[in-house]
A = this chain, B = another copy of it.
Amino acid sequence: MSPPTAIDIEAVTDTQAIVLPDPLTVNGVTSRRAKAGKLVAGTAAFTSSDFFKSPTSGKPKAKRWDHYLSLESKSRQPSSLKGAAQYLKNPGLISLGGGLPCAENFPIEELTVKVPSPPHFSERDTKESGRVLSAGKYDVSNGHSAYDLSIALNYGLGTGSAQMIRFVTEHTEIVCSPPYDDWQCSLTVGSTSALDQTYRIFCERGDYVLSEEYTFASAVETALPLGIRFAGVKIDEQGLLPESMDEILSNWNPEERGGARKPRVLYTVPSGQNPTGATQGTARRQAIYKVAQKHDIYIIEDEPYYFLQMQPYTGPNAAPVPPPANNEEFLKALIPTYLSMDVDGRVMRMDSFSKVIAPGTRVGWITASEQIVERFVRHNECSNQNPSGISQLVLYKMLDESWGHRGYLEWLIHLRLEYTRRRDVILAACEKYLPKEIVSWNPPAAGMFLWMKLDHTLHPLNGKVSLTELEEKIFLAAVDKGVLMSRGSWFTAERVNYVPHELFFRATFAAATEERMTEAIERFGTAVKESFGLVVNGDGNGA
């Protein structure tokens, strides 16, 4: 339906002259772009991260994954119509080939968004000093922009637009600097969709995927209808335990797993894991990567909360740690990604704008080796095609044309401090209102979740009812007091015949206002105390 038109980087007269520091910096992008010249990418332009990466000479190529590809994924062929795109480069050629509507029939003449001026990001500041960014229909042919409505409103290719691929490729290089040669990015319509597609690349019905024993419920529920089950790896306060992963893989017995072959894929949320809030440290990630190498495991690094890493928690009465003084300090404070240590090309990193800009954009991206990204893009072509062009245009205008990488990193620092503040509020409320003899928790270093363990052995009904029943009783008691928490059992990785042995609840500190969040924890504390018989009904405040 949408044959690509030509893309060119104008005026690349002396590529030898592009000598970039390693890793790429914000300034490096600026000088690189200046040398590369204006981005020219029209309607449904072919694009690739290769156009926008630093030269990677000397780095090894990624491992091939042919032996892991599913029948479905192996069967994907490029579209025959798209093959005709090669002729579009012929000068003067008129195409009656692809069924692309004409831009004159798009009834949107102009689009504007009002966004913050970095570093003044608050809603109040934005009202006062925000910038209004405007996109017209023909800004590209008028020379006003590298992206416009005539392009964004038409069909695009499965990678997403060249304009946004450039931005996310540069951003990924700044943050992750992958240590192998042939890495690529593709836009996604969000990580849940990307995960669905990735299961279909690597798994067949009957397969197991490894993950933390408590994990993102949607990851499990996306897998189950495909006949893919989760095998839960034991966790501690830093999340996934490499020893447990090694043990499961070393002793995998198909007979105990309904005939399932040894897992080939690990799904993990390394930072601010959902639901446990755990963040894997650098050494932990390195150890897990080694286990993955030992058992030839492909790693899905799902990182929606990576930039919701917070300031160190100093406790209720200590002075806060000063925020990062600049982008360089900020980047250094981030725990290294799996992608940054991926010498083999065995990682697919999933990034998303959902938690750092807004979920309603429905735009994210993956980074993986060329082979895997190509399979992923073939699937995009036969499903969601690419994210909304309107979303892509809004993101481009704000992130690329207005803020630039520097402003975007400043925004991420702003978010870091926002989430730090919210986390500190919920932790202060927990310190004040929860009975510590029953409820324990680890201060999260990233993400939006607080994972609370309740000592069920102290409950009067312990041993008399199942843990699941006990969990439900406490959940309903909390609802009765006016607070909704998520039940730990909703997040179990292993769903078949799973018998819980501990009692957890998950609270988010992302959504409610600070006052209501504090009020909610007080209510939960009352519900817990009453349920455990610490106080009688109606006398639960300020215990």
Q: CB within 8 Å of B: which residues of A? A: 1-2, 71-73, 75-77, 79-81, 84, 87-88, 90, 92-102, 104-116, 121, 123, 126-127, 130, 132, 137, 152-156, 189-190, 192-193, 196, 205, 217-218, 221-222, 224-227, 274, 354-355, 357-363, 379, 381-391, 394, 398, 411, 415, 418, 448-449, 479, 482-486, 490, 506-513, 516-517, 519-521, 523-524
| Least distance between A115 CB and chain B CB atoms (Å) | 5
A184 to chain B, nearest CB (A): 20
Nearest Cβ in chain B — how far from A398, in angstroms? 7
Residues of B contacting A109 with CB < 8 Å?
Answer: 113-116, 123, 126-127, 130
Instruction: Check B385–A193 contact: CB distance below 8 A.
Output: yes
Q: Which residue of B lies closest to A222 (CB)?
A: B382
Given A87-B479, A101-B510, A384-B384, 7 new contacts (CB under 8 A):
A72-B226, A99-B274, A101-B448, A189-B388, A192-B384, A218-B382, A361-B389
- Min distance, Cβ A511 to any Cβ of chain B, angstroms: 5
List, sorted by A's number, 8 A–B pairs whose CB atoms are closer than 8 Å. A84-B484, A96-B508, A99-B510, A102-B510, A107-B411, A153-B360, A154-B359, A360-B390
Question: Quick one: copies of this chain in the complex?
Answer: 2
Q: Which of B75, B95, B189 contacts A189 (CB 8 A)?
A: B189
Q: With A94-B519, A107-B398, A448-B99 as given contacts, are A72 and B225 in contact (CB-CB < 8 Å)?
A: yes
Q: Which residues of B contact A99 (CB under 8 A)?
A: 274, 448-449, 508, 510-511
| Nearest Cβ on chain B to A124's Cβ, whole angstroms | 10
In the bound complex, do residue B382 and residue A361 qualify as a contact, i.e. CB atoms below 8 Å apart? no
Considering the chains assembled together, what is the distance between the CA atoms of A196 and B79 in angstroms? Answer: 15
Query: A468 to chain B: closest CB distance in Å?
Result: 12
Contact B516–A94 (Cβ < 8 Å): yes
Cα-based distance from A116 to B205 in the complex (angstroms): 50
Chain B residues contacting A153 (CB-CB under 8 Å) are: 358-361
Assess the A98–B508 pair: CB atoms within 8 A.
yes
Q: Contact at A486–B111, with CB atoms within 8 Å?
A: no
Question: Measured between alpha carbons, how far is A73 from B156 in the docked complex, in Å?
Answer: 29
Query: Quick check: A384 and B512 within 8 Å, CB to CB?
Result: no
B362 near A388 with CB under 8 A, answer yes
Q: Shortest Cβ distance from A349 into chain B, in angstroms?
A: 19
Question: Cα distance A93–B511 when bound, in Å?
Answer: 13
8 closest A-B pairs by CB: A360-B389, A388-B388, A153-B358, A153-B360, A222-B382, A96-B507, A94-B520, A75-B225
Query: Nearest residue in B to A449 (C-beta to C-beta)?
Result: B99
